[in-house]
Amino acid sequence: MNFRDFPAFRDLTAEQFQRFLSSCQSGTIPADRTIIHQGKPGSHIFFLSSGQVRITLNTDLGERELNVLSAPTILGEISFFSGELSSANVTTATDVSAIAIGFNTLRARLYGGDAACAIVTLHLASTIAERAAHMTQKVVDFYGHQAEIQSTTHNLFGEWSFL
């Protein structure tokens, strides 16, 4: 995938896109490199155009894999908006082609009135809102099935249910 094809960049003119890229670092990140550390402050938003990353959690039982994401994908944007510590580890599973923009750089450009950064940030916020709506629907669906699960549990185990 070409970086220009990312939805976050879809409304940028060619000049705006080049100006945005001038604030980014670009290159290949080798496999087995942790780029986001659970419990640490985030520092960059990553736009991955090729490769795969593993999302893992450090737990009392050790490291647990949550998912493997393939490019194209964006990482680090939630920490940018929330200011919260990173909730998971992100490690390259393969060599990854990426561009990254530092949080401080993006904020400085936003405060300076950079239209390209404002457009990209708006698209990132929109993507997060879509994900939140999707997750909310999954929770609603889950709770919608809760009565069915309880009924089935009661039918299977009767009074002996420990659930």
Instruction: Please report, for the domain that includes residue 87, its CATH number.
Output: 2.60.120.10
Mean predicted confidence (pLDDT) in 8-17:
94
Phi then psi for residue 102, to 5 deg, are -70, 145
Query: pLDDT at residue 25 above 70?
Result: yes
Alpha-carbon distance of 122 to 47, in angstroms, equals 15
Quote the domain boundaries for residue 62.
Answer: 3-152
Number of structural domains (the chain) is: 1
Regarding pTM above 0.75, the answer is yes
% of the chain beyond a pLDDT of 70: 94
Kind of pairing between the strands at 34-36 and 44-50: unpaired
Residue 162: inside a domain, yes or no?
A: no
Euclidean distance between CA atoms 101 and 77, whole angstroms? 10
pLDDT band, very low/low/confident/very high, at 53 (cuts 50, 70, 90): very high
pLDDT tens, residue by residue, 56-77: 999 999 999 999 999 999 999 9
Residue 157 within any structural domain of the chain: no
Q: Are 42 and 34 in contact (CB under 8 A)?
A: no
Query: pLDDT tens digit string along 95-109?
Result: 999 999 999 999 999
